[in-house]
């Protein structure tokens, strides 16, 4: 049976959406709550003021969401700021890595301790991406405290040749985690827009629809999926 993307599910349930903007290399890892825009366990992370675009292929920040879905304040505040978003990212990534197709795209980061990025770097990049889109002070792309440089969506994923079904599955899993965490439906729909706003910059239309990843960049011995430091 064909899987519906999370964005399709949001439309089917009639959830209202506000416009805002991961990919395998820069947008996931395992959780460790940071504070004040700083990450722990070598994940780096900070963010100077700025809420505009998220680099190539991203959408702009959400800012204040007065009255959206009956909720007040910014999406960033409702998600708990940097600490809350990072915790959510950690839970999402744990769920994503339970899927063998998705996990195959993270093989170098998970299995090679010398590969860049490491899981904490990916987590912090994803946190900064979503934090900026939700109206927070984070910036993306950015340089983390450990020196790792988060990249634009096209640069981070070009070597991975991710298919459309794999991407949709990633978004669906993320939506399920947020739903289980009791995030408001309208906020989940906004986050779905953040993720789906990166789709054209991440997927390869000529790649198989789903994985596992078989290209060199997903091999533990290949550094092509890494970023820069």
Share of the chain above pLDDT 90, in %: 48
Neighbours of 91 (CB within 10 A): 17
Highest mean pLDDT among 19-28, 109-118, 200-209: 200-209
Inter-residue contact 204 to 163 (CB < 8 Å): yes
Other Cβ atoms closer than 10 A to 210: 16
What does CATH list as the number for 18-45+73-218? 1.10.490.10
Q: Spell out the domain ranges in the chain.
A: 18-45+73-218
The dihedral formed by the CA atoms of 23, 160, 227 and 136, expressed in degrees to the nearest 10: -10
Q: Confidence band (pLDDT; 50, 70, 90) for 70?
A: low
Mean pLDDT of the region 59-84: 68
**Cβ atoms of residues 189 and 15 within 8 Å:** yes
Q: Which residues face 203 on adjacent strands?
A: 162
Q: Give the residue, 29 or 112, on which the prediction is more confident.
A: 112
Say if residue 99's pLDDT is above 50.
yes
Average pLDDT over residues 181-198: 91
pLDDT band at 165 (very low <50, low <70, confident <90, very high): very high
Confidence (pLDDT) at 220: 82
Mean pLDDT of 39-57: 35
Q: 109, exposed or middle or buried, with CB in 10 Å at 0-12, 13-18, 19+?
A: buried
Terminal alpha carbon distance of the chain = 42
Measured between alpha carbons, how far is 133 from 20 in angstroms, rounded to an integer? 6
Helices 185-196 and 164-180: crossing angle in degrees, nearest 10, is: 160
Contacts (Cβ under 8 Å, ≥6 apart) of 187:
69, 71, 75, 78, 79, 178
Residue 72: pLDDT band (50, 70, 90) is low
| 164 has pLDDT over 90 | yes
Q: Tell me the pTM.
A: 0.68
Please state, as a whole number, how many other Cβ atoms lie within 10 Å of the Cβ of residue 14. Answer: 8
Q: Residue range 185-210: average pLDDT?
A: 92
């Amino acid at each position: 049976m064909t899987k519906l993307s999370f964005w399709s599910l949001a439309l089917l349930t009639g959830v209202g959406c506000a416009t805002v903007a991961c990919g395998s290399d820069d947008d996931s890892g395992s959780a460790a709550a940071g504070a004040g825009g700083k990450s722990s366990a070598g994940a780096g992370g900070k963010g100077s003021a700025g809420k505009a675009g998220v680099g190539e292929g991203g959408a702009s920040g959400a800012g204040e969401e007065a009255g959206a879905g009956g909720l007040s304040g910014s999406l960033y505040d409702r998600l708990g700021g940097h600490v809350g978003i990072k915790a959510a990212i950690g839970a999402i990534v744990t769920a994503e890595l339970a899927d063998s197709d998705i996990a195959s795209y993270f093989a170098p980061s998970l299995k090679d301790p010398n590969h860049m990025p490491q899981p904490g770097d990916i987590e912090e990049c994803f946190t900064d991406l979503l934090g900026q889109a939700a109206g927070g002070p984070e910036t993306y792309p950015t340089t983390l405290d450990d020196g790792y440089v988060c990249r634009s969506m096209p640069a981070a994923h070009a070597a991975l040749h991710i298919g459309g079904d794999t991407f949709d599955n990633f978004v669906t899993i993320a939506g399920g985690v947020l739903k289980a965490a009791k995030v408001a439906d309208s906020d989940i729909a906004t986050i779905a827009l953040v993720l789906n706003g990166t789709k054209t910059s991440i997927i390869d239309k000529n790649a198989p629809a789903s994985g596992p990843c078989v290209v060199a960049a997903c091999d533990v011995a290949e550094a092509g999926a890494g970023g820069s430091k």
